[in-house]
Structure formats: C-alpha cells, structure tokens
Amino acid sequence: MEQQFGAELKDLGEKNLLWNPKSLESASEPWSVVSGKKVLMFCSNNYLGLSNHPEVKEAAIEAVKKYGAGSGSVRPIAGNMALHLKLEETIARFKRTEDAIYYNTGFTANSGAIPAIAGEGDLIISDELNHGSIIDGVRLTKAERAIFKHKDMDDLKRVLEGTKAKAYRRIWIITDGVFSMDGDIAPLDKICALADQYGAHIYVDDAHGDGVLGSHGRGIVSHFNLDGKVDMEMGTFSKGFGTMGGLIATTKTIKKYLLNKSRTYLLTGSQPPAVIAASIKALEVLEGDDALVKKLWENTKYFKARAKEIGFDTGESETPITPVMTYDESKARDLSLKLFEEGVYALPIVFPMVAKGKARIRTMIRADFSKEDLDFALEKFGKVGKELGIVK
C-alpha cells in the first residue's frame, strides 16, 4: 500500500500537482505572517476582515465562557443549542427569506442538501463551472443530470426545451453565484426568467457573493433584486463572513424537509458555540453598517483599474476575485514565487483547477487593505511582471 500511494504521489509531484501549503502564523490580516515572513495577504477569502473583527472575536470569547468549547452532540439529538437557532433566525432576517438552515460547512451544505432535494424522476441542470462541492452533491443523487455551457443562456434554454419530452417530477437549475476562479457573476435574473418559463427551481451557491454582493453584502439575490424568486440560496460563513459554516436561506417547508432528510445535517456533531456566536455577530455587524462592503468595492475598482493600466489582463472578473492572467502555467508559478520574495502572498491557479493554458494568479481584494497596501502590491506586480515578460 505504501508503495502504491508513494507511486501516485510521485506521479502527482512530477506533474506539478502536489499541494504544499504554506502556514499562516498570525490572524488573517492585510499583513499576515506566512511561513515565517510578514507578507501582504493577497489570496485570502476574508474579504471584509471579519475573521479578526473585535466584536466578532469578543462574541466568540463570551460564548466559550457561557456555553463551553463544544456542543456535545449532533443537532437532532442534544446538540441543537439555542445559539444555532438564533443564528438561523439571523440568517433568514439578513437574507430576507422565510427561514434558513445552518450546516457545519458550505461543502456539507451542498453535498447534503442537493441529494436531499433531488432524486429519481428529477433533473439537475448545472453550469459547467460549478464548484466541486456541488458536483459531489449531484453525484450523490439518483437524479438525471445535464450540463449547460458556462453562463450560456441559449444553452440553458436548449436543455430546458429538451425537458418537455419527459415528465420530470422536479427540475433544478444549480449554479454558482460568483465563480471562484474567474470572479464572474452568474446571470441570475435571466436564469430566473428561464426557470419561470419552464417550471424549474433554482439553487444558487452564493459562497463568494456573501458579504460581497448586494445591499450590506446580502448576496447575489439582493444584487439582482430577486427576493422571493430563488428557491434555495446556499452560502458560506468561511469567506466574507469571516467564520465557518454553510447556510441555506429558503422557505420553512424546505428547511423542515432538509433537517429531516439531509445526512450532512443529521449525522454530524454541531458547530461549537464560539463559531456560532461569532457568525451571528458577523451578520449583525453587516446589518448595522455597510461601510466594509463599500470599502471592498472601492478597493476592488482601484486595484483592477491600476492593474489594467500596468498592462495586466484581469480576465472576466466582475468582483473582488481578480485573476491576473499569465495563461502559461510556469509563468504563474514563477510570478507567485517572486511576489512572495517581494512580500506579496498570491497563489497561482493552474490545471486542473482551471483549463490548461488558462493559468493565473488569483488575487483576492479585501476591505481592510489601505491604498498604500494596494499600491505596494501593484508596484511589486509591475516589477515582477516586467522581469518575467508578462507586461512591458
């Protein structure tokens, strides 16, 4: 066995596909300590800096003092703390839906909710670039599957037309809201119109829209003014909201169904009080003030415009996820290595995370960067980009 795994690892190593993550040795701050070096944190999903927000941290500390370090059980048995219920109420209020259900992670929300809502006699129609956790959720269902070309509404219409030939029980259209590799936004308004026309339901994964899009960071449904039109809005606390956990904002009936049928909800211990209290506080901070979201967009616009002026290609991005395209895999790796030497931590994204020949550095802009931080990064990108012949 050792030999077999060893050989596979060697093969991955030779193909340059092995992960060897650096270690974060401070809080996730604009300037973080990464593997012993103080660097500008340019690849974290902590868009708003909420993971290190004083009120959010204080809420976690108080919850540990009052309720302890763990919940002691799964939600359906003895681990359904009043705090979990308060969090679900807070999510529903924030997302302006009837109700909400909280999962331990976004990954388990997708891999647990999708197999619960779709089965034999159903069809799932997925954008070809959907996140891996959606793909895994779909793999666990007995539903039929169809794929439409990325954000291509003519192709989605083609698939929906084809459904007329068969009497499906339910048809689900599942899409990422913000696509995590390119930072582009799903045309949810158009998807809703098609879903209406063909009697389909919508499940949107708003992991990168939470805290980023819409009023006060309420997400993609708010961004497109589609309140009440999306059946299930899935999201995560692990990015813009700064903590940990998955969410599905939906109706009372679907929530009740999920909490009776969804295995990744039923069969796993519940998140500890600190995480839940911090998550409630993160949403309260955003409800109270959207200054962080505004600053995130100000920083995003500034960085994108200056990066383009320097000559970089930032791809299809419409959000703070800003790819700096190199296309060439080894150039992406070299750019990342040299940037780290210069004090900027930004990771390369290469095949198989993106198609071959579409390599890039994926920069993630944050609200808590100062203009000086962004100028520092731009200066380093420009310098190293020139050295590597990526810009003139």
Residue 30 as a binder of ligand PMP (CB under 6 A): the answer is: no
Q: How far is the CB of 330 from ligand PMP (least distance, A)?
A: 25
192: phi then psi, degrees, rounded to nearest 5? -60, -45
Q: How far is the CB of 270 from ligand PMP (least distance, A)?
A: 15
> Closest by alpha carbon to 334, among 348, 320, 344, 323?
348
| Nearer CB in complex with ligand PMP: 176/184 | 176
Q: Sheet holding 321-327: strands in order across? A: 321-327, 359-364, 347-349
Q: How far is the CB of 210 from ligand PMP (least distance, A)?
A: 10
| Nearer CB in complex with ligand PMP: 236/250 | 236
Binning the chain into helix, strand and coil, the percentages to the nearest 5 are: 45, 20, 35
Give the count of residues interacting with ligand PMP (CB under 6 A).
14
Beta bridge mates, 363: 322
Residue 107 as a binder of ligand PMP (CB under 6 A): the answer is: yes
Residue 223 as a binder of ligand PMP (CB under 6 A): the answer is: no
Binding pattern to ligand PMP, positions 192-211, x when CB under 6 A? Answer: -------------x-xx---
DSSP string, 204-253: EE-TTTTTTSSGGG--HHHHTT-TTS-SEEEEESSSTTSS--EEEEE-HH
User: Which residues are known to be catalytic?
Assistant: 180, 208, 239
| Nearer CB in complex with ligand PMP: 103/345 | 103
CA distance 49 to 99: 27
Considering only residues 347 to 386 of the shown chain, the ones binding ligand PMP according to CB under 6 A are none
Binding pattern to ligand PMP, positions 120-149, x when CB under 6 A? Answer: -----------x-x----------------
| Nearer CB in complex with ligand PMP: 237/312 | 237
Q: Which two tokens stand for residue 158?
A: 């083609």
| Nearer CB in complex with ligand PMP: 205/328 | 205
Q: How far is the CB of 372 from ligand PMP (least distance, A)?
A: 29
Binding pattern to ligand PMP, positions 245-284, x when CB under 6 A? Answer: -x--------------------------------------
Q: Is 46 helix (H, G, I), strand (E, B) or coil?
A: coil
**97, 249 contact by CB (below 8 A):** yes
Q: Which two tokens stand for residue 330?
A: 């080894």
Considering only residues 86 to 105 of the shown chain, the ones binding ligand PMP according to CB under 6 A are 105
Handedness of CA 71, 75, 81, 83 (dihedral sign): positive
Beta bridge mates, 175: 204
| Nearer CB in complex with ligand PMP: 131/362 | 131
DSSP letter (8 states) at residue 164: G
**163, 123 contact by CB (below 8 A):** yes
| Nearer CB in complex with ligand PMP: 75/208 | 208
Q: How far is the CB of 176 from ligand PMP (least distance, A)?
A: 5
Q: Is 322 helix (H, G, I), strand (E, B) or coil?
A: strand
Helix H or strand E encompassing 279: helix 273-288
Helix H or strand E encompassing 353: none
**109, 248 contact by CB (below 8 A):** yes
Q: How far is the CB of 202 from ligand PMP (least distance, A)?
A: 15
Binding pattern to ligand PMP, positions 53-92, x when CB under 6 A? Answer: ----------------------------------------
Q: Is 295 helix (H, G, I), strand (E, B) or coil?
A: helix
Binding pattern to ligand PMP, positions 158-187, x when CB under 6 A? Answer: ------------------x---x-------
CA distance 293 to 41: 18
Residue 236 as a binder of ligand PMP (CB under 6 A): the answer is: yes
Applying CB under 6 A, the residues found at the interface with ligand PMP are 105-107, 110, 131, 133, 176, 180, 205, 207-208, 236, 238, 246
